[in-house]
Structure 1
Amino acid sequence: MILIGHRGAKGHMAENTLASFEKALQLNVDMIELDVFLSRDNIPVVIHDKTIDRTTSGFGLVSSFSARELREFGIPTLQDVFQLVNNQCDINIEVKEIKAVKSILDLIDSNIFSKDKILISSFDWNALQEVRFHDDEIRIGVLTETDLELAIAFAKFMQAYSIHPYYHLLTPENCQKMKNNRLKIFTWTVNEPEDIIFVKSLYVDGIITDFPDRV
C-alpha cells in the first residue's frame, strides 16, 4: 500500500509548504499530494485555494501575484518542490484550474524530475481530458466525492491510472469493481485511526492522509 502525504504532512506543518513536504519525506511517504494554481506570470505555484487569504498573512487572488511575490508569503513554485523532493518520492499534482495544465506539463517535460514519478489528478475532469490531449502517457487520477460509478466509467475512458474517492464512498463491492477495471484506489483524506483501519480492510492501493505517521 502506498502512503501519500496530503499537502505534504498537513497534520504537522503548514500545508503545501516546503517545510510540510520536507516533513513528509522524513515520515517516509511514498508520494506527496499537492495543489497547483497559476501565478500572475503563469508559473505553477503550490497552494490549495484560489486566494492566499486562508494560508498566508496576505490577501487576494493567487493570480494577482507573481511567483516571486507569492514566495515571499511562503508559497513555493512547483519547480521548488521538484528540486526539494529530487525524485525521493512520487508527486501527485492536483490541478485546480484547467488553464494551468499546459504550464504544468511543460514544467514536467523540462525537468530532471522523473516523469514516471508524476501523477496528475483533478476534480475537474475537463482538466484531465486536457492533460490526456497533450500527453497520452502521463499517469492520471480521477478525483471524486460523489458519483463513484461515473468516475469508474470516466477513468476507463481516459485510460486513467487511479481513482481518488472520498473514503466514505468506499464499499467492498465498489472497491472490487475498481480493481477489476485495473484502477488503483487512492482514497482521501483518512486521518482517524478507525477510518485508517476501515480503508485498510478494503485493500485500497493508497491512503492520502494529513498524518503519514498514523498509517
Structure 2
Amino acid sequence: MARDCAFSWGGKSSALARLGLAFLLFAAPHAQAFDLQAHRGGRGLRPENTLASFEHALRMGVTTLELDIAITADGIPVISHDAALNPAITRDAQGRWLQERGPLIRSLTLAQVQSYDVGRINPTSSYARAFPDQQPRDGQRISTLAALFKLVNDLGAKDVHFDMETKINPHHPESTLEPEAFVKTMLEVIREAGMTQRVMVQSFDWRTLELLHRLEPGLRTMYLTIAAPDFHTLTDGSWTAGHLLADHDGSVPRMIRASAENFPGVIWAPNYNNLSAPLVKEAQSLGLQVIPWTVNQEPLMERLIEWGVDGIITDYPDRLREVLTQKRMPLPEGVKN
C-alpha cells in the first residue's frame, strides 16, 4: 500500500524527497526525548478519556496524551476506548448505571453519545477494584477529538503531543467504520486543528497505519502488538495487514519495518510483557522507537528505562514522573494557567 503511493507523487525521486522532508520534520527534539504518555489521560487518577483526565495530566506535566477514537453515526470522532458504551463507566440521563453493554457508538449521534455521564466508575464493577484511587468527576461526557484540541490550545500546552488509537477490530467489522473511512474522518479533524506534527496514530490493526503512510506520510505511526493467551495479534496476519512473523524470522521489529517500509516516525508499542532488552536494541537498530504499554509499577518502569525504551505509556503518570525524578531525567512541565 505504501509502495503504491511513491508513484502517485510523481516518481520515486519525488517520494524520497518527501520522505526526507518528513524525516527532518518528525525526527524533531520530541522524538529524541523520553516520552511520558498518560494512558487514557491517566485513568488511574481521573475518569478515563475525559477532558477532566486530560486537563489533570496537562497540569501535572506529561509529554503525550494517549487516547482512543471512535466515530459517531453523524461522522464525529469522539474519544472512547470501547466501540460500544461501557457499563462499568456509563450512566444514563437519569443517573442509572447501564446494566449491560450499551449500543455501538457508530449507531449513535453525537448528541445521543453525550447524553451519558462517564465521570466515575461503577463501584460494583471489577474496574473499580482495579483503579481504587481514581477520583470521580461527575458530569463528564464522551468528548469530541476537536474539543480536546481546543482544551489543549486554551491551556497553552503547545508542546504536548497526542497518541490516538483507532479502535478497529478486523474480526468485528460491523462495530466501526471500515479502516479507510475511519482514518479519513479522523484525519480531517487533525488537519483542521493543525495538529499533524503533534499526533501519532497507533493501532493493533495495521491496515490503519499503512493507510496513514499513504494519506499523511509525515504523521508518526505506532504499531501496537500483544502476544497473550487471551489476545494475540501476531498469529495469522488478520491484525497485521497480512504480514506474517514466519516471513521475518519470527522478528516483530522486522515485520513492523516491512509494513512501514522506509517511512519515518515509526514506533513499536508492545505489551510490556512481550519486551526484552535485546528486542529494544533490535527495534532501535531498525530505526524504530520503542514505547511499551501499559506500565503501572515503578520497579518495572525503572527496568524498562534501563533497557533504553524511548517512552512509557502508563495509567499513573505521577508514578512515572517520580521514577524519572529519581533517575535525574528531564521532566515535562505542567501547564500553569
Of 144-153 and 14-23, more deviation after overlay is shown by 144-153
Q: Determine the structure 2 residue equivalent to 1:18.
A: 51
**Does the 8 Å contact 1:9/1:20 carry over to 2?**
yes
Q: Determine the structure 1 residue equivalent to 2:286.
A: 181
Q: Determine the structure 2 residue equivalent to 1:78.
A: 145
The yes-or-no answer on 1:150 pairing with 2:255 is no
The yes-or-no answer on 1:119 pairing with 2:200 is yes
**Does the 8 Å contact 1:71/1:77 carry over to 2?**
no
| RMSD (Å) for aligned C-alpha atoms | 1.6
Q: Structure 2 regions of 5+ residues with no counterpart? A: 1-33, 93-101, 117-140, 169-178, 228-233, 235-249, 321-337
In 2, the alpha carbon distance for the partners of 1:94 and 1:180 equals 25
Of 53-62 and 202-211, more deviation after overlay is shown by 53-62
Instruction: Give me the TM-score of the superposition, normalised by structure 2.
Output: 0.61
After TM superposition, the structure 1 = structure 2 runs for residues 1-215 of structure 1, keeping only pairs within 5 Å, are 1-54=34-87, 55-58=89-92, 59-73=102-116, 74-86=141-153, 87-97=158-168, 98=179, 99-112=181-194, 114-146=195-227, 147=234, 149-158=251-260, 159=263, 160-215=265-320
Amino acid in structure 2 at the alignment position of 1:169? N
In 1, the alpha carbon distance for the partners of 2:258 and 2:284 equals 12
Amino acid in structure 1 at the alignment position of 2:225? T
In 2, the alpha carbon distance for the partners of 1:155 and 1:77 equals 32
In 1, the alpha carbon distance for the partners of 2:83 and 2:196 equals 26
Of 150-159 and 189-198, more deviation after overlay is shown by 150-159
Amino acid in structure 1 at the alignment position of 2:151? L
Tell me: CA distance 1:110–1:207, structure 2 relative to 1, closer, same or farther (3 Å).
same
**Does the 8 Å contact 1:53/1:60 carry over to 2?**
no
Amino acid in structure 1 at the alignment position of 2:288? L
In 1, the alpha carbon distance for the partners of 2:204 and 2:190 equals 20
Q: Structure 1 regions of 5+ residues with no counterpart? A: none
Amino acid in structure 2 at the alignment position of 1:28? G
User: How many residue pairs end up in the alignment?
Assistant: 214
Instruction: Give me the TM-score of the superposition, normalised by structure 1.
Output: 0.93
Please state which structure has a larger fraction of its residues in strand: 1
Q: Determine the structure 1 residue equivalent to 2:123.
A: none
**Does the 8 Å contact 2:162/2:198 carry over to 1?**
yes
In 2, the alpha carbon distance for the partners of 1:64 and 1:175 equals 41
Structure 1 position 154, deviation (Å)? 2.4
Amino acid in structure 1 at the alignment position of 2:108? F
In 1, the alpha carbon distance for the partners of 2:44 and 2:282 equals 32
Tell me: CA distance 1:121–1:152, structure 2 relative to 1, closer, same or farther (3 Å).
farther
Amino acid in structure 1 at the alignment position of 2:68? D
Larger radius of gyration: 2
Amino acid in structure 2 at the alignment position of 1:85? V
**Does the 8 Å contact 2:210/2:259 carry over to 1?**
no
After superposition, the C-alpha distances for 1:177-212 in whole angstroms (9 at most, x for unaligned) are 011011111110000122112211111001000000
Structure 1 position 133, deviation (Å)? 2.2
Structure 1 position 88, deviation (Å)? 4.3
Question: 3-state SS of the aligned residue for 1:207?
Answer: strand
Of 205-214 and 132-141, more deviation after overlay is shown by 132-141
Structure 1 position 107, deviation (Å)? 1.1
Tell me: CA distance 1:103–1:116, structure 2 relative to 1, closer, same or farther (3 Å).
same
Amino acid in structure 2 at the alignment position of 1:168? N
Question: 3-state SS of the aligned residue for 2:114?
Answer: helix
**Does the 8 Å contact 1:31/1:92 carry over to 2?**
yes
Tell me: CA distance 1:130–1:15, structure 2 relative to 1, closer, same or farther (3 Å).
same
